[in-house]
Amino acid sequence: MTFNYPSSVSLVEVGARDGLQNEKAEVSTEQKVTLISLLAASGLKRIEAGSFVSAKWVPQMADSADVFARLAAFEPASGAQVTYSALTPNVKGLEAALSAGVSEVAIFGSASESFSQKNINCSIDESLRRFEPVVKLAHSNRIRVRGYVSCTLGCPYEGDIASSDVARVSRQLSEMGCYEVVISDTIGTGTPVKTARVLDAVMQHVPVNQLAVHFHDTYGQALANIHTALQLGVSSIDSAIAGLGGCPYAKGASGNVATEDVLYMLDGMGIKTGIDLSALLEASLYISDVIGRLPQSKVAIALRGG
């Protein structure tokens, strides 16, 4: 196997959405905006800032329209262009996102039939059909769409998932018009060998420059899995500040891989990101204080002296 490390990597910060929506602590709109502002100040240029879903099911994201309204007036001191994206599972959600001025959205499917039913109450094929009008409307408004594939390295209900199933869903999202397909280890059971196997299968159908990875760190494998993805040429990585998050439909899943830990590894490998670790740690310590716990990040704990 030929290793093909990228010279630079684009980190997609998901802590303010995928992270906070799974935290029990209440975080105000003002605190969310402060967090996102600190993240942007560190050099992050892609930040998932909210989710336009039913407040009944995800009450933590009920204020997403207000968050985006406040972000519209914020400009990072660096002057860099930052993309603030949102999750939009259906046309209603997309219409709300458009009204809020969102410039990029994401949809989410699954490689597991059982998880699809538990998560969005429909089959995989039904979910993909539901996404077609969402993508079409987004494109008609010149909005880019990112597509998540959940449970690619394991499912809480089915166990192992066939790489061919992951490849099929990934190909369909790409063909539908998603500019980037995110291979997601929703419950954090993946290992480097599994990661390589799944990515190899997906790359037969989707070019590597259209792929991203999203790992949870349940068994401490996230950085090793990311390293495997880097070896295969993947240059877009999701992560969450302070290791925020989990998954409400995946019992036992811990938080996302911490952005600080990913950045420390990338810096040590000489891979460019444009992000300042010291500034990033300010965001990590801020949100950790807000939610009342230590950051789930080895780097933050080590540098804090804990």
67 assigned to some structural domain: yes
pLDDT of residue 300: 86
What would the mean pLDDT of 30-57 be, rounded to a whole number? 95
Average the pLDDT over 12-36 and give the result: 94
Q: Is the pLDDT of residue 252 over 60?
A: no
Domain assignment present for residue 55? The answer is yes
Render 12-60 in DSSP notation, one character per residue.
Answer: EE-IIIIIGGG-SS---HHHHHHHHHHHHHTT--EEEEEE-S-TTT-GG
Mean pLDDT on 45-64: 94
- Domain assignment of residue 273, yes or no: yes
Q: Calculate mean pLDDT across residues 74-98.
A: 86
Chain-wide mean pLDDT for the chain?
92
How many domains in the chain? 1
- CA-to-CA distance for 126 and 272, rounded, in angstroms? 40
pLDDT of residue 264: 98
Stretch 72-100: mean pLDDT? 87
Report the pLDDT value the prediction gives residue 227, as an integer from 0 to 100.
98
301, pLDDT greater than 70: yes
Residue 113 in domain: yes
pLDDT at residue number 117: 81
Q: Kindly tell me if the per-residue pLDDT of 7 is higher than 70.
A: yes
Identify the pLDDT of residue 4: 81
CA distance 67 to 142: 21
User: Residue 2 falls within a domain, yes or no?
Assistant: no
Q: Which carries the bigger pLDDT value, residue 52 or residue 300?
A: 52
Is 155 one of the catalytic residues?
Answer: no
pLDDT digits (tens, 9 = 90+) for 108-133: 999 999 888 877 778 899 989 999 99
Domain range for 173 is: 10-304
- 162-208: pLDDT as tens digits: 999 999 999 999 999 999 999 999 999 999 999 999 999 999 999 99
Catalytic annotation, pick one of 151, 155, 178, 247: 247
Say if residues 212 and 181 touch (Cβ distance below 8 Å): yes
* Extended strands (E) in 65-198: 83-87, 104-110, 144-150, 180-185
**Tally of residues, the chain:** 306
Q: Would 5 be classed as within a structural domain?
A: no
Whether 3 is covered by a domain: the verdict is no
Specify the higher pLDDT residue, 57 or 39.
Answer: 39
pLDDT at site 141? 97
**pLDDT for 24 beyond 90:** no
Q: Is residue 1 part of a domain?
A: no
- Mean pLDDT, to the nearest integer, of 265-270? 97
pLDDT computed for residue 75 by the predictor: 67
How far apart CA 293 and CA 104 sit, in angstroms, is: 31
Q: What pTM was computed for the model? A: 0.94
9 — pLDDT class (breaks 50, 70, 90): very high
Between 157 and 274, residue with greater pLDDT: 274
Residue 135: CATH number of its domain: 3.20.20.70
Inform me whether the pLDDT recorded for 210 exceeds 80.
Answer: yes
Mean pLDDT confidence for 11-20? 96
Cα–Cα dist 5/154, whole Å: 26
pLDDT, average across residues 76-80: 60
Predicted pLDDT of residue 251: 54
The values of phi and psi at residue 206, to 5°, are: -125, 125
